[in-house]
Chain A
Amino acid sequence: MADYKEAYLATRPKTLDPAEYFNLSPDYRRTEEERAALRSRLKRHYLVQLNNPHRKELIEDPALTRWTYARTSNIYPNFRPTPKTSLLGGLFGVVPLFVLYFVFKTDRDKREDKIKAGNYERPYKLSS
């Protein structure tokens, strides 16, 4: 690492600061160098695409692609029926149907009984 030179107008990252350099363990140094190499490779790839004068389309962001894939197409393979998910599914998908059936049926049966007994007063005058 003795011959690392910063890029023109860029600053040296703190992890490669020679003043601190010799206090760090060789393992830590190696991992930090690898990460810096990875970052600079990605940045170079992006800058090459950005400054390409013949580029006509958007630069693809792989993180966005992964996020979109996870949010839209990769849901079911990662689903597992647990007590929590079963409870949520039942609470929002099954129970409301029965509750609503009960509510509507009793309400309309009450009205039907009133109509059959002749007590129902129509609240609105609706045409045809």
Chain B
Amino acid sequence: MNSILTACSDGDGPERKIQFLHGTTTLAFKFQHGVIVAVDSRATAGAYIASQTVKKVIEINPYLLGTMAGGAADCSFWERLLARQCRVYELRNKERISVAAASKLLANMVYQYKGMGLSMGTMVCGWDKTGPGLYYVDSEGNRVCGDLFAVGSGSMYAYGIVDSGLKQKDLTVEEACDLGCRAIYQATYRDAYSGGQVNLYHVHSEGWNRVSQSDVLMLHQQYQAEKA
């Protein structure tokens, strides 16, 4: 995560850096019954843990979710603006916006600021008339559709768990939720910049609902007990 105002510091000399909130693990994957979204809740400013209770899933509207990775202010501001644009779309067209269109709106908004130092890696997840939708959008200008994404400093650890769990076909809702939860837990275990709680959401045809919020320490004790 880059910090702003490198222009306002001496070249090689001591720098006065303003610390913003960064570090994370977020993931989302499509499965038979919709989309699972799982995130951690730690925000760091340098080596200091600024908060262990950050809401990294942004509720854009009752059927669209956005995740937060990179700069906390960048993600929450632009996704809040996206929520406004989605509402305007609904009023103008008398129907809900598709996930593809919502993610495109976000991508185009931040593309205008490309190179100026925004830091945002987000996944737009929802359910529209074509079924479950999952797009990855970032401040570099990327926008890709996919079935599985993990974003953030702990993403590699999360990919390991989800890739092996998704090999079995046809997960039930409960199995998919457990998989998402486990993946974030493992990422928090190995990544210093992820931790706090695991927030789990499930997006289905009627919209999204918050499945669980589990403290990582509790999950650790639970998994240790299961191993024994």
| A and B associate in one complex | no
